[in-house]
Structure 1
Amino acid sequence: MTQPAIAETPRAVRTATAEVHNVVKQRILDGHYRAREYVREASVARELGVSRTPVREALRELVSEGWLEAIPHHGARVVAWTERDAREVFELRLVLEPMAVRLASERMERTRLVYLETLANRMEALVERIEREPEMRNEIARLNHEFHRELIAASDNQRLAAVLDGVVRTSVIRRNFGNYDLANLRRSMRHHREILEAIAAGSPTWAESVMRSHLLAAQALHVRFPDAPDDPQALPG
């Protein structure tokens, strides 16, 4: 005899929704779900061992946050960003992120600086493996996101951190390394190292300047020129 299904309480659904939200978001960031790929309710529910209700709610949240887009009669798919999107994101980052680094330089705790140095060390080591092991790009991207997140958090300005999170959450940090050859990656790592040296030296102006150079170099890999028409294809992952 079939057992009756156990009713899901609102609290259980909310907990499951949060878990599904985090998993799907992480998969987008890691490139598991690619630009314009559909995220199917049934597949996610089966993989995560939950009902379709929390999956449906999680996908709705991800649509409202800009990670997914709802396509009528088809479902939810990963948003693909154009060159114009990248240009607008970098315009904002070039104003806000150097400001955050300047503040971080003035407020950095020693333990956080040590952690940032650890992240920089790990990324540098992985870059030297990338020609033999191209899959290392995913781990470099993850560590790079953490590095920038920690720098921004060190500004101790919650509003600035919240705005920047909204600006960069679309994958510009996490999935931009497909555009980088070895020379570009090494330059990016040198920028990270110099930012930390500036902070350790107690020079907010130096740190701010290097971050601006770091972002301008990244921008050049994604934006051909200011008046370029939108690229109809997604940015490389």
Structure 2
Amino acid sequence: MTPHPTAVVTGGAGDIGGAIAQALSRQGYRTLITDVLPDDVGRARAAELTTRSAVRYRYADTTSATDVSAVIEHGDGPLHVAVICAGTVAAQPFLDIEPDVWRRTLEVNLTGAFLAAQAAARRMIAQEVKGHLIFISSWVAERPWPEIAAYSASKAGMNQLMRTAALELSAHGIRANAVAPGIVMAGLARTQFETEPQYAARASQAIPLGSPHTAEQIADAVGFLASPAAASMTGSIMTVDAGSSLGTLS
């Protein structure tokens, strides 16, 4: 690994994105997080996440091609790792999903992922960097879960986007992989665990190892992919879900 590698994490101010940025900083990556927070709030969050190497913040809406181009494609210096983490999820039964919610979910989770990955790859090619695109997918891309059809569809699309990018970009020495978390105590899942007893009971039964995992455990998986140990991996999905995708015996 180069002495001063650089990384960008979209959605890097959130629970999972923040844990990933912190892990990369610990590994020596100079890391830029992007999100939609005001600059002062984003800079404060970046300071919290800084460990070994500096974490910086830039505002960027990943659904905006203009924002993504300015911050990622035309950013300063070489780019070695891009973590595509920005996302949104809304819990609605299939029959109640509103078209605007469906469109917004796919716009953020799939179109946003495409724009960020494309911008990062273009920058890597322009700078002759054999970089790595790491997508944050989900176990529900492969296994249905109630009330998040839009989210599940967007993550299934992300997986195929990742595989196609891995195939096409291999000629440039650029790799693409994904981490597929299960039920993580972060974001909407954490809120539902804390406020909806029925959800907590259902989710707990869906985890063979017994309990949801942490954002830090997802960050550990990303850290592995960003390390020399994963140098021969491309087009792969690393599932980190405490066994949820296996189903249960009951």
What range is the shorter-chain TM-score in? under 0.3
**Larger Rg, first or second structure (1 or 2):** 1
More helix by share: 1
More strand by share: 2
TM-score with structure 2 setting the length: 0.25
